[in-house]
Structure 1
Amino acid sequence: MAHDLVTELLQYSSLACFMPILQLCANLLIPNCLRSNLSYSPLAALELCVNIKNNSFINIKGSYIFIKANKANINYTNNIFCVSSESTLTSYLYELKDAGSTVNTTDNILYDAKVNWNYANSDVCKPANNTLSKESTIPFTEIDCINGVFTKDPAYINNGATIE
């Protein structure tokens, strides 16, 4: 796959910087193919263009806002968010301030969440149903965080990343 990524976010990690996605690039070894999807246009008043596609976020704990910006064009497509069963906090995919922002969220999977995950943490680009729907079946046949093996169930072949 062109955009394979499996990320394990640790509890209490600091994602509260101005642009959380940039910290992910620095600290969690996001491959260059994903980093290149971040672009900055000085003429667009700090407008980001972010594409997060076919990635697996594993063992997420704590509360996060994945992308926080004044103005952005964001595309979340075919990702898997596999939340730690220990997590008791709500997370958000984005928080935007400028009404000129755009967001597309298509075919993302949320699994094993005891709490809700929301798309928006602000009224900008907030969908009518702001809660990600939860899958009842685990999208992986194997999760081995120690050895870095994450094998997807064949039913989810078009979502997330497979790292073996």
Structure 2
Amino acid sequence: KTPMHYAAKSRTKSAVGVLLKVPPAKPGGAAQPQPQAKAADDVVAAEKARLAEVARAAEARRAEEEGKAEEASRAEEARRAEEARAEEERKSEEVRRAKEARAEEAKKAEETRQADEARRAEEARRAQDEEARRAEEARRAEEARRAEEARGAAEARRAEEARRAEE
């Protein structure tokens, strides 16, 4: 009950108290209902009805305010939930981007490693080819030297035979 309710009630009581000053009952008889007492009952009933209406209106206002507050709190809750969901989505998007970036870096690193490996293999093959070419050149040079020595020895033999034949 509101303070206004109590104030209205005390005003009603004082008004009723003034109206209810009934003359004392006659000796030996019951008190007759007085016209002013009936009027006081009407005033009390009217005041009670007015107070009930005021209380109903206050209750309705309070319920409406509670409803508004409840609606506002529901809206706030929904807004918070939406913010939390958006934040969660943003975080998961960041995590996904980070994963993609790491995967891309790993892929690039693997490609670089493979390219380096291929380059080293190519260099090794070239070095082997160069080594084989040098060995082949050395073998040819050796064959040529031997052939030259053989020719020189054959000429020396022929010259020796020719000299012997002359003798």
Same-fold status (TM-score > 0.5): no
Greater gyration radius: 2
Q: TM-score, normalised by structure 1?
A: 0.15
Q: Which structure would you say has the larger RCO, counting Cα contacts within 8 Å and 6 or more residues apart?
A: 1
Q: Which has the higher helix share?
A: 2
Q: Which has the higher strand share?
A: 1
Q: TM-score, normalised by structure 2?
A: 0.15
